[in-house]
Amino acid sequence: MNPLRLLAESFSSIVREARRVAPMAAGIVWGVAAVFVLVAVARGFEGTQRAQLDALGDSFMLLRINRATSSRGDVRSGAFVLLEGEDMEAARKGSPSVEALSPKANNWFIQAFRGGDITRISAVGVEPEYADIVHVPLEEGSRWIDSNDIEQELPVAVLGYRARDELFHDEDYLGEEVNLIFSRGEGEDSVVRRVKVIGAIKDEELASDEIYTSHRHVIFLPFTTWERMSPRGFQFFVMRPKHPDLREQSLAELRQVLGRRLGFDPENANTLIPYFDAIERGQQIDAVFGGLQFFLAAVGVLILLLGAVGVANVVLMSVAARTYEFGLRRALGCKRRWIFAQVFLEAGLVCMLSGALGFGLGMTVIRLMRVVEMPEGFAAPQAELGAATLPLALLLAVSLAAAAWPATRASRVSVVRALHGGSL
């Protein structure tokens, strides 16, 4: 039999058996589209979570001294202990597992003004290593705080995106001056400090403002300049271990060093706590989306198995209904392999066409979802060709394997029995 004629007869048989084939085909279309959309949504969500983490940095920890003391050796009182620059130097020397360390000394929500523009921002004192620990993308022409700024206690500053926008709008900001109002303490007058803008940070953050990690509403100062302008100590600092596996060891070393200097128990984990842990968050993302991939794979396998059962059932029913047809063909000289090939080809064509329709339906749904505003934390679904081709290939393989048994039975039907209306 001519292969083209075989193909034509297979299409003709599919049309004749449309009532039996349609439910199976609809199930395959729905299954392929559902898996494709689920994978695309999961990829979009995963991409958003990883992009949010990359925008901040993926291997650092924001830490806070959390021991209540009134003096650096008295653990009985209720005032928070504050760190000093010498504490950071001691921590660097006494923590071999720590690769980089920088204070993040905060003055929360101070007033900053320039001309008639005024806003509330956080003045943060850092050292040059801060940009090596945390992701700090600078605007073109900007520079970061360097060692010379630290040594000379220069009144220079790097602005966060919103701080720059609220103070300068669309005007040039490099080399311009900003006034900061620092409180000297309870019962004391506030003082105005003037700083020169040497740079600004790009707005690459994807998450909403988070007071401890966001750079949007911040003005960065050299740490020594911050100490001179606001001599009150600090509680927060950032740290990056030499390797993510050294996270716990780094924390233990820091507790030992700071515990000896500040008079708290270094074995108490609550004395030094992570306010933001990018290492742990990255591990959580890997675990969550690793589990999600396993879940989606299980769903896909289940859909394929159901599809295989449906294919085998429909093909078997079709073969049983066409017993006389196959017997007559055999009587007229049609070889067994051609009957097998026709039944086999029919199943393959139905699966391929249904899978293609499922792919098209999935792409349509994904495009519609791209138009709709997604909840915070969810990016638009990311359609991946591999997410469609793999299920289609597996579906075709499973379906053809399921069709092999009915096709074999059809090819081996007895001519005499088939012509007399016998079953397979």
403 versus 269: the higher-pLDDT residue is: 269
Both tokens of residue 11?
A: 């299409």
Element (H, E) at 43: helix 18-56
Domain boundary among the residues 213, 247, 277 is at: 277
- Answer yes or no: do 330 and 399 share one domain: yes
Please answer whether residues 292 and 47 qualify as being in contact, where contact means their C-beta atoms are separated by less than 8 angstroms: no
Over the Cα atoms of the chain, what is R_g? Answer: 34
The alpha carbon of residue 83 and the mean position of all alpha carbons in its chain are separated, in whole angstroms, by 35
pLDDT the model gives residue 69: 46
Q: Both 185 and 309 in a single domain?
A: no
**How far is the CA of 236 from the CAs of 19, 268, 317, in angstroms?**
70, 18, 72
User: Does 28 map to a domain?
Assistant: yes
Total length of the chain: 424
- Please give the pLDDT value at position 423: 53
Same domain, 259 and 314: no
Higher pLDDT, 201 or 71: 201
Residues 16 and 65 in one domain: no
Q: How far apart are CA 105 and CA 83, in angstroms?
A: 9
pLDDT one-digit tens code per residue, 128-173: 999 999 999 999 999 999 999 999 999 999 999 999 999 998 889 9
- Check whether residue 233 and residue 293 sit in a common domain: no
Name the DSSP class of 194: E
Rounded to an integer, the average pLDDT of 295-305 is 72
Which of 260, 277, 294 terminates a domain? The answer is 277
Q: Is residue 206 part of a domain?
A: yes
Of all residues in the chain, what percent carry a pLDDT higher than 70? 77
Of residues 325 and 123, more confidence is placed in 123
Q: Which of 245, 277, 309 is the last residue of a domain?
A: 277
Q: Rounded to an integer, what distance in angstroms lies between the CA atom of residue 357 and that of residue 66? A: 59
Residues 289 and 367 in one domain: yes
Q: Which residues of 160-179 are buried (b: 16+ CB within 10 A; e: fewer)?
A: bbbbbbbbbeeeebeeeebe
In a domain, 203, yes or no: yes
Residues 272 and 345 in one domain: no
pLDDT the model gives residue 95: 93
Q: Which residues of 298-309 are buried (b: 16+ CB within 10 A; e: fewer)?
A: eebeebbeebbe
Query: HSE of 41 in the Cβ direction (CA atoms, 13 Å)?
Result: 16
Using a 10 angstrom Cβ sphere, with 0-12 exposed, 13-18 middle and 19 or more buried, the burial of residue 193 is buried
291 and 266 assigned to the same domain: no
Same domain, 358 and 386: yes
319 or 224: which leads in pLDDT: 224
- Report pLDDT for 143: 95
* Structural domain count of the chain: 2
Contact call for residues 215 and 122 (beta carbons, < 8 A): no
- At CB < 8 A and 24+ separation, what contacts does 367-374 make? 369/37, 369/41, 374/44
The share of the chain scoring above pLDDT 90, in percent, equals: 28
The answer to whether residues 163 and 89 belong to one domain is yes
Q: Is residue 102 part of a domain?
A: yes
- What are the tens digits of pLDDT across the range 323-379? 667 667 767 777 777 777 777 777 778 777 887 888 888 888 888 887 777 666 566
Rounded average pLDDT over 210-229: 88
Which amino acid, residue 276? F
Q: How confident is the model at residue 293 (pLDDT cuts 50, 70, 90)?
A: confident
Q: Across-strand partners of 183?
A: 190
| Domain assignment of residue 424, yes or no | no
Q: Tell me what pLDDT residue 195 has.
A: 94
Question: What pLDDT is recorded for position 386?
Answer: 63
Query: In sequence order, which residues have a C-beta less than 8 Å from that of residue 56 and are 6 or more positions away?
Result: 134, 135, 205, 213, 276, 278
Q: How far apart are CA 128 and CA 316, in angstroms?
A: 73
122 three-class SS: strand
- Are 289 and 273 contained in the same domain? no
Asked if residue 232 belongs to a domain, the reply is yes
- For residue 363, give both structure tokens: 């792409």
On whether residue 242 sits in a domain, the answer given is yes
CB 189 within 8 A of CB 182: no
- Whether the per-residue pLDDT at 187 is higher than 60: the answer is no
Read off the pLDDT of residues 96-122 as tens digits, 9 standing for 90 and up.
999 999 999 998 888 899 888 888 899
Asked whether residue 185 falls in the same domain as residue 201, the answer is yes
Instruction: Examine residue 192 and state whether it is found in any structural domain, yes or no.
Output: yes
Residues 256-285: tens digit of each pLDDT: 999 888 888 888 888 888 888 988 888 888
pLDDT of residue 75: 47
Q: Which domain holds residue 109?
A: 61-277
